[in-house]
Structure 1
């Protein structure tokens, strides 16, 4: 009798996150699974805001765990680690963790005398994507490893400087509040101007002059934005507010690279309606989102507000901003007036464009336990519980047939209708105490084709075992880990998949797995 070689046979597929087989305890005392080093670093990286407290782990302990893992894997597995760091800053859009990781990667490999794998110079350059980041990386290196800069760090930063430094960047980021000004960076790394960028040599010299001789520094004629800025600064203070009301006021601010942060200082007075309406046309989308309350308090006109709303809700703008969906959720929760609610809801919907449309029947479990109510970071007003609820709801709305459930000590279905607002459904979730994941799975699983769990994985003890043990082995279980704690709520196995954070990449991996292909690390998929 044929038991295995049957027409209906399906491969049991694995995600890249693996466990070692060693049993740990979760912070709640439940049975946990230790992950291998690569898996632990990946999950910690995508949930790591650096120096930020979590419910169970202080910032210093998380940072130590992160840097220790980077340093070990930089030597033992440099190709994989370099790929992680480049992806983390690029598609993963995690800025600080990637900068810290790159510095520790290079330091560890220099200390070990390692020469295999990607060059240290390439790794440094790969994580520097914004003009202020060369200074950020040098600041981290100085406070952690001292002021002496190894050649690979200098050369990697120099490569990035040639790519990133331009006139508008200098006006926005080269401020007196920074420990490393553009001129300091140039002095340290000796970046040569890019011959393909005419005028960059003059720009570099101007950055040096304004750092060391600001009283005599003269903007180069080859940079229109710096010349326009110099002319704007020459306008007498008494005439500046009137200039904003002129027909070309907004255009002059934009041409001079004037940011909303710098405008109040230039005006030497408050940001009133005229000031905001003049600078709004040149503001970036996320700057608009952060200032909705300020617009209302200043009384910007309905016409201007309508323009802001249109940009915030524009799908192309949302894609270009590369912001995580919870940015829009936080703005929605704290927007002062209803005129911003609909555009923010639309923006949130656009940011969830890569959520898969799942066939068959799906059980979606959203963790609303006490540990999920800690903020995403010390600077965020949004908590993991609401971020998880938004993603779980989006998955349910996109699926062909889904049961949406919230769980903690107890569990309950969350009702929703097809086409209903994600943000409206969010209001139906509650706070449910502990983390009895296994009980929620046992109670609500009714022959579904797959189970999706959005959680921090810190399950309480259950005599029924881990959540996956309550399900048939052939049923795929997908876990989104929001916190990056060391112990997972279940071991990795065929049809048991764990993803880090709440990124578009993780959602795409579901499609790969269900198409009958083992999912690899996201940067490997991106290169394939």
Structure 2
């Protein structure tokens, strides 16, 4: 059924988005301002697309946040199962790419439904969120830690389906390591995948044999596994000889070697990197730009890397969050990557709209936005906010007024044709300039000047109430919520919208809403546009 292109399209003044608040049900923000309570779907969606499992945020501990997520999933799994299954599949897909949250969500979904006696679809939900070969083991580790060692049949079948789909020679060599508590063999022995090819049968036997330290020969069908075993018999000096003869690149590819595995053979040289680069994945290239520079990789090879980084098809396939490109830009010491990263960032933000008229873009630089995106990352959430807000302003340079705000505001001016990456970097240099509070209402009141729309990119935990009061009711206000906290800073409805996630996916609803079309969930496709 068409979600958007229907005959009963509402006027622009009454278009509403998918995130909703409950009428007459209020609360307060974490800073004490009046706030509203979202419905269960809306609260779960905003939390799901912003929650890194086990990570503290400024206002909410990891335990409180994870418990809230689990409770919401369990509630919706029983009362709203089809919608929640679609949410989980979308979360792990290329648009949202939330890995751990999706796995936890699928486990809690299935457990809640089985406890309620609801069968059907559980196996499929598990299979839908397992998209990388280390994830079947990750899922089982979570399930057994949380629910015990007994595996219900839908869990066994769902994980087994994923293992059959994901396990191959290359993934075995990359992910089946002694650092994992659940190895490929453990998954296979616990879940017993019912269907697999003869070659996979050889691979599965090999995985089980090596897990149990059985000295069985490698099957002739497993050519990459054999090549890998042969390569690992080489000494460091042998590898350097191969770089001189030009043999190393082909040998690394044939053996399914990763850059981490080659790194165990001693110090990196330019020749080793140049042999390794052709078989490296997109994320591995992005993470190693500094290492390439420090080793002295040639400009010719660097140009090949840059071309791959800037390729829109490669960017889409890589599923990188937009802030990853800023992180790579900040880490790389040389200028030869800058243009490619700027192009890649633009491709990753393809859903940022070009809009008519004038837009007010307010980017939160307060103290609560200066936490890291996750414990493993040095990227602050304020930088992720700047990626969205400044890039949106660059795309609409002729009609965008960009301000950083906290207790006060500073204006950030961009020129038409400016580099988004450089403008983001320049904006970030001003964080802290206007204090550390979160006065959203004050920023809107002082900077709104007849604009056609207002964007607020923030954690939305304002210290000031009535943040939309000074914006006429026929002017859209879009809150882009980067943390998914429970209190909603303003009442949602006609021309009052809230989005979330660390990707640009929900920005694609803006043109629909401004055309007077009620916005649906991001995984809902218009049939005529498909």
Task: Check the 8 A contact 1:193/1:204 in 2, yes or no.
Answer: no
Aligned pair 1:37/2:35, yes or no? no
Farther off after superposition, 71-80 or 222-231: 222-231
Alpha carbons of 1:186 and 1:360: their partners in 2 closer, same or farther (altered >3 Å)?
same
SS in 2 for 1:270: coil
Distance across 1 between alignment mates of 2:98 and 2:11: 40
Shift of 1:328: 0.5
**1:109 corresponding residue in structure 2:** 113
* Aligned 1:400-439 pairs, distance under 5 A: 400-426=398-424, 427-428=426-427, 429-431=430-432, 432=434, 433-439=436-442
SS in 2 for 1:122: helix
Aligned pair 1:301/2:298, yes or no? yes
1:49 aligns with one of 45, 52, 55: 52
1:314 aligns with one of 311, 316, 319: 311
Distance across 2 between alignment mates of 1:375 and 1:264: 28
Farther off after superposition, 279-288 or 241-250: 241-250
Alpha carbons of 1:82 and 1:526: their partners in 2 closer, same or farther (altered >3 Å)?
farther
Question: Which string of whole-angstrom CA distances, capped at 9 and with x for unpartnered residues, describes residues 377-430 of structure 1?
Answer: 111111111111121111112225111111111113211111111222221343
Farther off after superposition, 120-129 or 300-309: 300-309
Task: Check the 8 A contact 1:482/1:500 in 2, yes or no.
Answer: yes
Aligned pair 1:64/2:67, yes or no? yes
Question: Which string of whole-angstrom CA distances, capped at 9 and with x for unpartnered residues, describes residues 507-527 of structure 1?
Answer: 111122122211111122377
Aligned pair 1:24/2:27, yes or no? yes
Runs of 4+ with >6 A deviation? none
Shift of 1:95: 0.4
Shift of 1:238: 4.9
SS in 1 for 2:479: strand
Question: Which string of whole-angstrom CA distances, capped at 9 and with x for unpartnered residues, describes residues 46-103 of structure 1?
Answer: 0011111111111111111111111111111111111110100013110000000000
SS in 2 for 1:468: coil
Question: Which string of whole-angstrom CA distances, capped at 9 and with x for unpartnered residues, describes residues 208-253 of structure 1?
Answer: 1111134x13332223322322332344565233223322210110
Normalised TM-score (structure 2): 0.93
SS in 2 for 1:457: coil
1:369 aligns with one of 366, 371, 392: 366
Distance across 2 between alignment mates of 1:241 and 1:30: 64
Give unmatched runs, 5+ long, in structure 2.
1-9
Distance across 2 between alignment mates of 1:256 and 1:515: 54
Distance across 2 between alignment mates of 1:217 and 1:188: 22
Alpha carbons of 1:246 and 1:17: their partners in 2 closer, same or farther (altered >3 Å)?
same
Give unmatched runs, 5+ long, in structure 1.
1-7
Shift of 1:349: 1.9
SS in 2 for 1:22: strand
Distance across 1 between alignment mates of 2:358 and 2:97: 32
Shift of 1:483: 0.5
SS in 2 for 1:524: coil
Question: Which string of whole-angstrom CA distances, capped at 9 and with x for unpartnered residues, describes residues 127-186 of structure 1?
Answer: 001111000000111111111111110000011111111110100000111101101100
Q: Over aligned residues, Cα RMSD in angstroms?
A: 1.8
Question: Which string of whole-angstrom CA distances, capped at 9 and with x for unpartnered residues, describes residues 9-67 of structure 1?
Answer: 64501111111232111111111111111111100010011111111111111111111
Farther off after superposition, 53-62 or 497-506: 497-506
SS in 2 for 1:199: helix
Task: Check the 8 A contact 1:44/1:66 in 2, yes or no.
Answer: yes
Aligned pair 1:458/2:455, yes or no? no
**1:277 corresponding residue in structure 2:** 274
**2:175 corresponding residue in structure 1:** 173
Task: Check the 8 A contact 1:23/1:31 in 2, yes or no.
Answer: yes
Alpha carbons of 1:526 and 1:290: their partners in 2 closer, same or farther (altered >3 Å)?
farther
SS in 1 for 2:525: helix
Shift of 1:470: 1.8
